[in-house]
A and B are shown apart, each in its own frame.
Chain A
């Protein structure tokens, strides 16, 4: 009886050892080899540079209103504001956007209330910024012109003078 037990243990240990050997060498004689390529693409970083400032030009305030600058460069007076053409230069802001190929990118314009033009202690707000392209741009051969307009709010009897300010435009790959 003791002999049978020892024999059973020996068989069991042998079986386990074999099983472990099989697990330890799973590929055994059926192993296969393949190769894979490793690639990487360095994308041209986005860049944006100013071509032209946003110029609302000259106007008479009267009892106030708005001056809207379209991305086409056309300005429109609202309310009692009267546009003044003599010696007045007006245009939308223009940027040169560059990047990779035909990639698309997101355009971020200033939020309402973020931009103010000042002359001494007098201010005018620029809101409702617009752009062309709007929201998302698409590069062509790695470049695109971005035009930005906005609407200037003019108060009643806005003090005469030259008003100026600045704002930021951000572009980023989608």
Chain B
């Protein structure tokens, strides 16, 4: 059996082959490619929760003075004649628990003053709010407890009552 292939067919075949070759290598083999890595790290957000409230206990009303809560210990009047009434009960610095999955340094922001009120338009002020350390905190492990102290300023003719206020404690990553 004899198979005859025409010149026209061969020409068409070679043309198609050429086109396929060009498509397979459009740049003529001159392109170059490099692979590179990309990465990112998602850090757990810092969380804060109140462990204990700041509590000044009962204070006797005197003419004028202030009471400093430092840590969990009661301090005698800083100035004036304000004093703790008896019997002595617990006083507490406020404590906050800072948590994070990382071990970052972070800073805290405390208010300079906190207004407290008896709910009947009688006010007093807490000031000298401070943490138990200053500057940057370093979280060691998964959590850390920060104590916050303040000074209660008893005003002249401070009205008897149960005074309350809210202290905002902010923590942020450096």
Which residues of chain A have a CB within 8 Å of any CB of chain B?
43, 45-50, 53-62, 67, 82, 84-86, 88, 93, 95, 97, 115, 117, 119, 124, 126, 148, 150, 152, 154, 158-173
Contact = CB atoms under 8 A, between A and B. Distances in A.
Nearest to A58: B41
A166 B40 contact: no
Given A86-B174, A172-B27, A57 B32 contact: no
B3 interface: no
Contacts of B102: 84, 86
A145 to B, nearest CB: 13
Interface string B1-34: 0000000000000000000000000010011111
Nearest to A171: B32
Contact of A167 (B31, B36, B43, B44): B36
A115 B38 contact: yes
Q: Is the interface of A mostly helix, strand, loop or mixed?
A: strand
Interface of B: 27, 30-46, 101-102, 104-105, 173-174
A142 B104 CA distance: 46
Contacts of A150: 38
Given A46-B30, A168-B33, A84 B38 contact: no
A163 B41 contact: yes
Contacts of B101: 160
Contacts of A163: 39-42
Contacts of B41: 56-59, 88, 161-163
A86 B105 contact: yes
Contact of B40 (A59, A148, A167, A168): A59
B174 A56 contact: no
Contacts of A61: 42, 45
Contacts of B173: 60, 82, 84-86
Nearest to A75: B40
Contacts of A86: 102, 104-105, 173-174
Given A60-B43, A60-B45, A164 B105 contact: no
Given A46-B32, A173-B27, A166 B42 contact: no
B36 A169 contact: yes
B43 to A, nearest CB: 5
B35 to A, nearest CB: 5
A119 B44 CA distance: 14
A89 to B, nearest CB: 10
A112 B102 CA distance: 32
B42 A169 contact: no
A165 B43 contact: no
Contacts of B30: 43, 45-46, 172-173
A53 B38 contact: yes
A119 B42 CA distance: 10
Nearest to B34: A48
Contacts of B40: 55-59, 67, 117, 124, 152, 162-163
